[in-house]
């Protein structure tokens, strides 16, 4: 089966930097995706890492280390609108579905 | 840009009733996925279709069935509804099998409440 671990909650102030770690154990692995979900809303794709290294998209960056089965999402210059749940997700090589972590609730305070 | 459309957005049913949820993928997307998300939970994969054929199956109860039609829209049929079926149901779509296109685009979801 698949197992993903990420912290349940993170709180930070506006303008700060937050790093959300994700460790995984999967039977196969194509890459690590990150999704943002506001309360009651739909998961929205943020980034994807298929290879080791850092991917940068505006204020958000994501990193993957396949050898460590580890990745992280970096949120910079936090804004109030970044308050949401953030999910890491993997696709095992023998499945087509996404397996999500339990999600990290990020709360941004003024 | 066009997004995934789901209908209805909200649905209230009684126990043992049936419900049909509809999903219209992004144009030219040929793969559809269904997920169930309970309160405070992560999305759980139910079933997926690629080119109108079932491509993968997750934790979908036998009371549920789904199909993808010739126009690529998909329907999730839920029978003998139980209280525990109350959840947000998301449909997502992608172009090509997920192995080649990791980005799945999610619809706004259908909130099902079973009384």
Per-residue pLDDT of chain B (115 residues; tens, 9 = 90+): 789 999 999 999 999 999 999 999 999 888 899 999 999 899 999 999 988 999 888 889 999 999 999 999 999 999 999 999 999 999 999 886 544 456 789 999 999 999 9
Count how many residues are written for chain A. 110
**Segment A50-76, tens digit of pLDDT:** 889 999 989 999 999 999 999 999 999
- Which of B48, B105, B107 is facing A96, going by the closest CB pair? B48
In this complex, do B56 and A97 lie within 8 Å of one another by their Cβ atoms?
yes
pLDDT, residue A92, reads: 76
pLDDT, residue B104, reads: 86
Is residue A71 less than 8 Å (CB to CB) from chain B?
no
* DSSP-assigned beta bridge partners for residue B67: B75
Per-residue b/e over B4-33, b at no fewer than 16 CB within 10 Å? bbbeeeebebeeeeebebbbbbbeebbbbb
Instruction: Mean pLDDT check: name the lowest of A17-26, A92-101, B7-16.
Output: A92-101
How far is Cα A18 from Cα B114, in angstroms, rounded to an integer? 38
In this complex, do A91 and B31 lie within 8 Å of one another by their Cβ atoms?
no
Q: Per-residue pLDDT for A93 more than 80?
A: no
* DSSP-assigned beta bridge partners for residue B82: none
Contacts of A81 (CB under 8 A, 6+ apart): none
A71 DSSP 8-state letter = E
How far is Cα A108 from Cα B36, in angstroms, rounded to an integer? 27
Is residue A96 less than 8 Å (CB to CB) from chain B?
yes
Q: What six digits make up the tokens of A55?
A: 């991917």
């Amino acid at each position: 089966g698949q197992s993903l671990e990420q912290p349940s909650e993170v709180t930070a102030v506006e303008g700060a930097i937050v790093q959300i770690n994700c460790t995984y154990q999967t039977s196969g692995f194509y890459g690590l995706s990150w999704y943002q979900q506001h309360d009651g809303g739909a998961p929205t794709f943020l980034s994807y890492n298929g290879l080791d290294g850092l991917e940068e998209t505006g204020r958000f960056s994501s990193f993957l280390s396949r050898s460590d089965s580890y990745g992280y999402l970096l949120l910079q210059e936090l804004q109030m609108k970044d308050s949401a749940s953030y999910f890491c997700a993997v696709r095992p090589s023998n499945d087509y579905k996404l397996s999500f972590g339990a999600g990290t609730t990020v709360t941004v305070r003024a | 840009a066009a997004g995934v459309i789901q209908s209805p957005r909200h649905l209230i049913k009684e126990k043992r009733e049936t419900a049909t949820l509809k999903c219209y993928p992004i144009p030219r997307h040929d793969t559809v996925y269904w997920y169930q998300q309970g309160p405070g939970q992560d999305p759980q994969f139910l079933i997926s279709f690629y080119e109108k054929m079932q491509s993968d199956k997750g934790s979908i109860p036998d009371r549920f069935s789904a199909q993808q039609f010739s126009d690529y829209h998909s329907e999730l049929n839920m029978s003998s509804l139980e209280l525990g079926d109350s959840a947000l149901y998301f449909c997502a779509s992608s172009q090509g099998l997920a192995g080649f296109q990791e980005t799945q685009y999610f619809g706004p979801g259908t909130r099902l409440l079973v009384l």
